[in-house]
């Protein structure tokens, strides 16, 4: 984007030369108009789709949040009552705490592991092994989340692979129904999320690493830096933007998580894995309280923005 | 997979909005000016979207007109309610995984060649979520209904009273229809009839006969104490006494809990609570005792240790594989179990506290309703009557559905193989009918009491995170949140 702006900008700045012939200015104006119309025509389909399918539903959610509505019959205007009610739902705080706990698994673990793996793969970047490991590690990202959820719920079952392996190595006492145990359900769900997001983070970070000027590494090596020093002095600072993208994407995935939990635990046992996304779904489709669900959705969006916007600011300050 | 759209929405709306700007101006404005412009653009877009969303309140002026309803004048002798002779297509919306309605539809088509069915199927959860929309926008002539009080209250279901009178349904045992009556406040139990059953099911305890013999159980327990002893015997024999589903969004321990409630107390009080009779509560002395009894089973280790992650299908698979001596379930599985483990399944009603005491069981019709906007309500009503009265239809209802057909008490019953569990459940159903021991399911009291009340709290009871009194109080609070 930035690049195009610069090119366009330079052309525009240089064109209106003072004292140039009238005809030339007209031609320029006409061309600019044509270009403008063309630009709008090219942007229009995407723009219209964006307004219709992104902005309009968002605006509708905001609108619905001021009504008491079952989704079918006449609605009643209730002002801010739904927002007040959202904070009176007893499970609400627990679900928000759960969502924040998921950030550890959905975001921190994949980024940390992704950094380590990408750095390892980079060291043998040209070999076939690197290609294979990239594909293998990225694969979870390709699998639909629903399939991942089902697969993991089998792995976690009381006679599933996880417990079989534990028994094999003599850890019988540790085996349990991972998704049915109050203590282990949320971490177990978190591990599914970590597994899914790890591939994306790893690939993004790896792509970022290829952009780093090899001369930097050479210089560092000449100065006698070891691999660890190299990583912290060159790799990590250069990947600032990629890391910020990874964290943004995964934090949103954690706070707005729904699919993995819907498939694996449905919020159970005893609301131990309830998250706001699932609560919205239950309110809208089971309780048929569309207004309350919309209010919670708006609150969730505000929460996500409140967490993610500072991250963006941090990144932008780093640029300037 | 809505992670990417979320990101895209985020970056389009806030990250790089320069796209819509004239790049010439872009170079001239300062950074603060740019962000001002940016918010102006955002405002324009949001306001535009709001305008697109329309300023009218949601739900007003929908596509649906006032329902016509059945002919309000009593059907005379001359106007027969049937499917006529012209070609008719009945739109059916059924539940996936249950072959009964489709089998009945095929037989009906055979007997009435001018009628054909256009059948769509979905999972029960999908039916629950979509019911109001479907009934209003794409009205089926026949639909498998979830909890129906809201649907009736919202005027989405056809009032069947005139058909009931015409066909004589009101002369059947009232307990069959009671649960499908909804009054103007959305309370079930009395008022106009809004649905009809294809059959009515009943719950109790299924057991594996081979394993029962192994633990010395030659006949079903006559008292709760005897049942406790058999559970202990199964445990001592190294068997799993009860693999009951209770994982995820399912609170299957509500089955044994309600059975225990009926052993300790009166089914009428439980029905009152389910039908939302004002002032009724679930926190009663007998219910507390019942919940404490359930807790004692949990603490004694009678349940499989992974019940909190076990779903319904897993429970059935384990029982059929001989990995559970008992399960609490309903007679809708009778036909299936007779096929899967012939001769090896028995059934008994939850025993009372003392020998000779009364039995209680959950019993509910397999409810089908007619949309208030249906095209062929008369033909649909005729079909529902046919299901309850035609001999072939009743045979299908028993053999495929496993449960008791609707209809008059003395109506035709197909012959059932001796020793099959279907025979046992039908006999138990008759016993419950005589004793008036039928209850609706405690999960059906309100639209959310199962998901928000029973399920999480029963899971907590299994994990030892809640005591019986607090469990009932939590459920009651959730109930009042909707009823009050």
Position B36 in a domain: no
Tell me which residues of chain A, numbers 225 to 254, contact chain B at a CB-CB cutoff of 8 Å.
248-249, 252-253
Domain that residue B94 falls in? 88-200+366-405
**How big is the A-B interface in CB pairs under 8 Å?**
188
Distance, in angstroms, between B212 CA and closest chain A CA? 25
| Claim to verify: residue B211 and residue B190 sit in the same structural domain | no
Within 8 A of B136 by CB-CB distance, chain A residues are 72
Q: What integer is the mean pLDDT of A44-48?
A: 94
Least CA distance to B450: which residue of chain A?
A286
Cα atoms found within 13 Å of the Cα of residue B102, Cβ hemisphere only: 12
Around Cβ A61, how many Cβ atoms within 10 Å?
19
- Tell me how far CA of residue A202 lies from CA of A102, A121, B5, B77, in angstroms: 19, 10, 21, 77
Touching check for A282 and chain B: CB below 8 Å?
Answer: yes
How many whole angstroms separate alpha carbon A225 and alpha carbon A74?
A: 71
Cβ separation of A252 and B10 shorter than 8 Å?
yes
The answer to whether B129 contacts A286, with C-beta atoms less than 8 Å apart, is: yes
Tens digit of pLDDT per residue, chain B (484 long)? Answer: 333 333 322 233 222 222 333 333 333 333 444 445 555 555 555 555 555 555 577 776 544 444 444 444 444 444 788 998 899 999 999 988 788 999 999 999 999 999 999 999 988 878 887 888 899 889 999 999 887 888 898 889 999 999 999 999 988 888 888 889 999 888 888 899 999 999 988 999 999 999 999 999 999 999 999 999 999 999 999 999 999 999 888 899 999 999 999 999 988 899 999 999 999 999 999 999 999 999 999 999 999 999 999 988 899 999 999 999 999 999 988 988 998 999 999 999 999 999 888 888 998 899 999 999 999 999 999 999 999 999 999 999 888 888 889 988 788 888 888 889 999 998 888 888 777 788 999 988 887 888 889 999 999 999 999 999 999 999 999 999 888 7
Nearest of B22, B95, B109 to residue B392 by alpha carbon: B109
- Among candidate residues A316, A176, A309, A320, the one with its CA nearest the CA of residue A255: A309
Query: Judged by CB atoms within 8 Å, which residues 120-179 of A form the interface with B?
Result: 144-145, 153, 156-158, 176-179
Give Cα separations from B53 to A58, A280, B47, B57, B67 (angstroms): 9, 21, 10, 10, 27
Count of residues in chain A: 320
Under DSSP, is residue A187 helix (H, G, I), strand (E, B) or coil?
A: helix
Kindly identify which residue of chain A lies nearest to residue B9, measuring between CA atoms. Answer: A54
pLDDT in tens, B121-172: 988 878 887 888 899 889 999 999 887 888 898 889 999 999 999 999 988 8
Q: Is residue B239 included in any domain, yes or no?
A: yes
Q: Tell me: do B221 and B352 sit in the same domain.
A: yes
What residues of B are in contact with residue A8 (Cβ under 8 Å)?
23-24
Kindly state whether B15 is in contact with chain A, defined as any CB-CB distance less than 8 angstroms: yes
Contact yes or no for B62 and A72 at CB 8 A = yes
* Closest C-alpha to B108, from B100, B117, B119: B117
Q: Which strand (E) or helix (H) includes residue A155? A: helix A145-155
CA distance B195 to B193: 6
Do B328 and B464 belong together in one domain? Answer: yes
Whether B324 and B265 map to the same domain: the answer is yes
Please indicate, yes or no, whether residues B392 and B440 belong to a single structural domain of this protein.
Answer: no
Cα–Cα distance, B209 to B207 (Å, whole number): 6
CB-based contact A59 B129, cutoff 8 Å: no
Q: What's the rounded Cα separation, in Å, for the pair B271 and B163?
A: 26
Cβ contact A12–B133 (<8 Å): no
- Residue B317 maps to a domain: yes
Q: Is B404 left (phi over 0), alpha (psi -120 to 50) or beta?
A: beta
CB within 8 Å: A72 and B50: no
Task: Find the closest chain A residue to B50 by CA distance.
Answer: A59
Q: Which residues of chain B does A56 touch, with a Cβ-Cβ cutoff of 8 Å?
A: 49, 52-53
Let me know if residue B168 belongs to a domain. yes
ipTM of this complex: 0.78
What is the rounded distance in angstroms from the CA atom of residue A275 to the CA atom of residue B318?
31
pLDDT digits (tens, 9 = 90+) for A185-235: 999 999 999 999 999 999 999 999 988 888 998 899 898 888 889 899 999
Q: What are the backbone dihedrals phi and psi of residue B353, each rounded to the nearest 5 degrees, phi first?
A: -60, -45
* The pLDDT value given to residue A4: 44
Question: Do B303 and B380 share a domain, yes or no?
Answer: no
Query: Is there a contact between A252 and B19 if contact means CB atoms under 8 Å apart?
Result: no
Measure B27 CA to nearest chain A CA, in Å.
6
| Residue of chain A whose alpha carbon sits nearest to that of B5 | A54
One domain for residues B164 and B282: no
**For residues B193 and B164, is the Cβ–Cβ distance under 8 A?**
yes
Question: CB B457: neighbour CB atoms within 10 A?
Answer: 25
- Flag whether residue A87 sits within 8 Å of chain B, measured between CB atoms: no
Q: How far is CA B30 from CA A314, B36, B353, in A?
A: 21, 10, 83
Strands annotated E in A58-132: 67-68, 76-77
- Same domain? For B430 and B316 the reply is yes
Contacts of A42 (CB under 8 A, 6+ apart): none
> Is-cis flag, bond preceding A269, omega within 30?
yes
Nearest to A55 among B49, B448, B451 (CB): B49
Q: Which of B1, B307, B451 shows the shortest C-beta gap to A282?
A: B451
- List all residues of chain A from 21 to 40 with a beta carbon under 8 Å from chain B: 36
Query: In angstroms, rounded to a whole number, what is the distance separating the alpha carbons of residues B327 and B350?
Result: 11
Nearest residue, CB atoms, A75 vs list B16, B26, B57: B57
Residues in B 399-418 with any Cβ partner in A closer than 8 A? none
Number of domains in chain B: 2
Find the Cα–Cα–Cα–Cα dihedral B211, B217, B219, B220, rounded to 10°. -80
Binary contact (A59, B52; C-beta < 8 A): yes
- Residue B447 and residue A77: Cβ atoms within 8 Å? no
- Buried b / exposed e along B438-452 (16+ C-beta atoms within 10 A): bbbbbbbbbbbbbbb
Return all residues near B30 (Cβ < 8 A) that are at least 6 apart.
none
How many Å separate Cα B200 from the centre of its chain? 12
Specify the 3-state DSSP secondary structure of A281: helix
Q: A53, A160, A177, A180: best mutation site toward chain B, by most B Cβ within 10 Å? A: A180
Let me know: does B425 contact B347? Beta carbons within 8 Å.
yes
Interchain proximity B59–A58, CB inside 8 Å: no
CATH assignment of the domain containing B117: 3.40.190.10
* Chain B residues 241-300 within an 8 A CB cutoff of chain A: 247-249
Instruction: Quote the pLDDT of residue A32.
Output: 84
Q: Is B306 in contact with A59 (Cβ distance < 8 A)?
A: no
- B49 vs A5, A51, A259: nearest CB: A51
Q: Is B105 left (phi over 0), alpha (psi -120 to 50) or beta?
A: alpha
What Rg, from alpha-carbon coordinates, does chain B have? 27
Does the residue B173 lie in any domain? yes
B38 occurs within a structural domain: no
> Which one of A2, A147, A269 makes the best mutation probe of the B interface by having the most chain B beta carbons within 10 Å?
A269
| Neighboring chain A residues of B58 at a CB cutoff of 8 Å | 60, 63-64, 67, 69, 75, 290
In a domain, B12, yes or no: no
pLDDT of the residue at B80: 85
- Looking at residue A82, its pLDDT comes to 92
**pLDDT at res. A276:** 94
pTM for this entry:
0.81
Cβ atoms within 10 A of the Cβ of B466, count? 21
B206 and B330 within one domain: yes
Q: How far does A203 lie from chain B, in Å, by closest CA?
A: 16
Domain shared by B167 and B299, yes or no: no
Shortest CB distance from A252 goes to which of B6, B128, B460?
B6
- H, E, C per residue of B101-155: HHHHHHHHHHHCCCEEEEEEEECHHHHHHHHHHHHHHCCCCEEECCCCHHHHHCC
SS (H, E, C) chain B: CCHHHHHHHHHHHHHCHHHHCCHHHHHHCCHHHHHHHHHHHHHHHHHHHHHHHCCCCCCCCCCCCCCCCCCCCCCCCCCCCCCCCCCEEEEEEEECCCCHHHHHHHHHHHHCCCEEEEEEEECHHHHHHHHHHHHHHCCCCEEECCCCHHHHHCCCECCCHHHHHHHCHHHCCHHHHHCCEECCCCCEEEEEECCEEEEEEEEEEEEEHHHHHHCCCCCCCCCHHHHHHHHHHHHHCCCCCECCCCCCCCCCCHHHHHHHHHHHCCHHHHHHHHCCCCCCCCCCHHHHHHHHHHHHHHHCCCECCCHHHCCHHHHHHHHHCCCCCEEEEEHHHHHHHHHHCCCCEEEECCCCCCCCCCCCEEEEEEEEECECCCCCHHHHHHHHHHHHHCHHHHHHHHHCCCCEECCCCCCCCCCCCCCCHHHHHHHHHHHHHHHCCEECCHHHCCCCHHHHHHHHHHHHHHCCCCCHHHHHHHHHHHHHHHHC
User: Of B68, B73, B81, B79, whose CA–CA distance to B382 is shortest?
Assistant: B81
Minimal Cα distance from B11: which residue of A?
A: A312
In the block, residue with structure tokens 């633990």:
B215
Which one, of B174, B176, B190, B194, lies nearest residue B67 by Cα? B194
Co-location of B303 and B324 in the same domain: yes
- Token pair for residue B320? 């059929």
Are residue B335 and residue B355 in the same domain, yes or no?
yes
- Residue B363 dihedral angles phi and psi, to the nearest 5°: -145, 130
**Predicted pLDDT at B336:** 87
CA-to-CA separations, B82 to A84, A175, B397, in angstroms, rounded: 52, 61, 21
Chain B residues in contact with A177 by the CB 8 A cut-off are 247, 305-306, 308-310
Q: Measured between CB atoms, which of A67, A177, A287 is closest to B305? A: A177
Contacts of residue B228, defined as CB under 8 A and 6 or more positions apart, other chains included, come to none
Report the C-alpha dihedral over residues B119, B120, B123, B129, rounded to 10 degrees: -120
**Alpha carbons B196 and A65: distance in angstroms, whole number:** 36
Residue among B57, B306, B447 whose CB faces A67 most closely: B57
Please, are residues B463 and B308 in contact by the beta-carbon 8 Å criterion? yes
Q: Do A182 and B465 touch (CB under 8 A)?
A: yes
**pLDDT surpassing 80 at residue A178:** yes
Residue A55 is classified by DSSP as I
- Span A274-316, pLDDT tens digits: 999 999 998 888 888 899 999 999 999 999 999 999 888 777 7
pLDDT of residue B37: 54
- B339 lies within 8 A of chain A by CB: no
| Residue B281 near residue B476 (C-beta atoms within 8 A) | yes
Tell which phi-psi region holds residue A267, choosing left (phi > 0), alpha (psi between -120 and 50) or beta: left
Beta pairing partners, B196: B368
Q: CA torsion, points A240, A243, A248, A254, in degrees to nearest 10? A: -150
Nearest residue of chain A to residue B463 (CA atoms): A182
Which of B14, B45, B129 shows the shortest C-beta gap to A55?
B45
How many angstroms separate the first and last alpha carbons of chain A? 17
Q: Does B310 touch chain A (CB under 8 A)?
A: yes
CA atoms of B150 and B111, how far apart (whole Å): 35
Domain assignment of residue B456, yes or no: yes
Distance CA A55, CA A59 (A): 6
Q: Encode pLDDT of B389-443 as tens digits.
A: 999 999 998 888 888 899 887 888 888 888 899 999 988 888 887 777 889 999 8
> Which residues of chain A lie closer than 8 angstroms to B150, CB-CB?
70, 288
CB atoms A59 and B49 under 8 Å: yes
């Amino acid at each position: 984007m930035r690049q195009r702006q610069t090119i366009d900008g330079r052309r525009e700045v240089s064109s209106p030369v003072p004292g140039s012939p009238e005809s030339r200015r007209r031609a320029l104006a006409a061309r600019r108009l044509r270009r403008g119309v063309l630009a709008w025509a090219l942007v229009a389909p995407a723009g219209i789709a964006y307004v219709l399918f992104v902005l309009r539903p968002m605006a509708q959610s905001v609108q619905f949040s001021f009504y008491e509505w079952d989704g079918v019959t006449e609605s009643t205007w209730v002002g801010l009552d739904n927002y007040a009610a959202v904070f009176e739902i007893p499970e609400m705080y627990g679900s928000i705490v759960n969502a924040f706990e998921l950030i550890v698994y959905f975001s921190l673990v994949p980024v940390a592991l992704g950094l380590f793996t990408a750095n390892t793969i980079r060291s043998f970047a040209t070999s076939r092994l690197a290609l294979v490991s990239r594909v293998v590690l990225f694969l979870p990202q390709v699998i639909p989340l629903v399939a991942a959820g089902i697969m993991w719920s089998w792995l976690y079952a009381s006679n599933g692979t996880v417990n079989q392996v534990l028994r094999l190595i003599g850890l019988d006492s540790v085996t349990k129904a991972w998704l049915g145990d109050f203590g282990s359900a949320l971490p177990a769900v978190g591990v599914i999320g970590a597994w899914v997001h790890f591939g994306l983070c790893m690939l993004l970070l790896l792509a970022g690493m290829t952009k780093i000027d090899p001369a930097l590494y050479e210089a560092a090596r000449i100065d006698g830096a070891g691999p660890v020093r190299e990583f912290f002095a060159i790799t990590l600072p250069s990947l600032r933007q990629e890391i910020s993208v990874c964290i943004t994407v995964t934090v949103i995935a954690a706070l707005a998580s729904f699919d993995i939990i819907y498939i694996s635990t449905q919020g159970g046992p005893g609301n131990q894995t309830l998250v706001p996304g699932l609560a919205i779904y239950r309110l809208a489709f089971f309780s048929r309280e569309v207004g309350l669900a919309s209010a919670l959705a708006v609150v969730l969006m505000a929460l996500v923005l409140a967490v993610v916007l500072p991250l963006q600011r941090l990144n932008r300050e780093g640029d300037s | 997979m809505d992670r990417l759209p979320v990101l895209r929405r985020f970056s389009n709306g806030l990250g790089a909005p320069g796209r819509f700007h004239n790049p010439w101006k872009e170079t001239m404005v300062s950074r603060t000016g740019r962000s001002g412009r940016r918010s102006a653009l955002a405002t324009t877009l949001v306001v535009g979207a709001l305008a697109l969303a329309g300023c009218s309140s949601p739900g007003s002026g929908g596509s649906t007109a006032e329902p016509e309803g059945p002919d309000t004048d009593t059907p005379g002798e001359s106007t027969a309610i049937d499917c006529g002779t012209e070609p008719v297509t009945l739109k059916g919306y059924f539940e996936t995984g249950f072959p009964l309605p489709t089998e009945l539809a095929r037989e009906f088509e055979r007997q009435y060649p001018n009628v054909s069915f256009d059948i769509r199927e979905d999972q029960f959860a999908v039916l629950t979520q979509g019911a109001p929309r479907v009934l209003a926008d794409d009205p089926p002539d026949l639909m498998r209904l979830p909890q129906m009080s809201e649907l009736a209250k919202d005027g989405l279901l056809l009032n069947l009273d005139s058909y009931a009178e015409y066909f004589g349904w009101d002369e059947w045992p009232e307990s069959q229809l009671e649960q499908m009556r909804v009054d103007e406040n959305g309370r079930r139990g009395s008022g106009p009839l809004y649905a009809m059953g294809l059959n009515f099911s009943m719950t109790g305890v299924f057991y594996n006969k081979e394993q029962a013999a192994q633990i010395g159980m030659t006949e079903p327990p006559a008292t709760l104490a005897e049942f406790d002893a058999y559970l202990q015997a199964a445990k001592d024999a190294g068997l799993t006494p009860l693999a009951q589903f209770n994982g995820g969004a399912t609170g299957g321990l509500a089955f044994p809990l309600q059975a225990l409630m009926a052993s300790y107390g009166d089914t009428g009080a439980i029905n009152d609570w389910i039908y939302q009779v004002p002032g009724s509560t679930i926190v009663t002395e007998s219910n507390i005792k019942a919940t404490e009894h359930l807790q004692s089973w949990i603490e004694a280790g009678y349940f499989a240790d992974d019940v909190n992650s076990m779903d319904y299908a897993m429970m059935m698979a384990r029982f059929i594989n001989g990995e559970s001596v008992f399960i609490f379930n309903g007679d809708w599985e009778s036909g299936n179990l007779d096929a899967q483990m012939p001769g090896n399944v028995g059934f008994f009603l939850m025993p009372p506290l003392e020998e000779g005491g009364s039995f209680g069981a959950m019993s509910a019709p397999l409810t089908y309703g007619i949309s208030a906007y249906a095209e062929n309500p008369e033909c649909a009503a005729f079909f529902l009557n046919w299901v309850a009265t035609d001999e072939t239809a009743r045979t299908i209802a028993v053999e495929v559905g496993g449960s008791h057909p609707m209809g008059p008490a003395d109506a035709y019953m197909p012959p059932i193989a001796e020793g099959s569990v279907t025979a046992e459940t039908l006999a138990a159903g008759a016993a419950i009918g005589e004793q008036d021991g039928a209850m609706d399911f405690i999960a059906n009291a309100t639209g959310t009491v199962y998901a928000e009340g029973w399920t999480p709290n029963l899971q907590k009871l299994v994990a030892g995170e809640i005591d019986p009194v607090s469990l009932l109080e939590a459920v009651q609070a959730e109930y009042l949140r909707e009823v009050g």
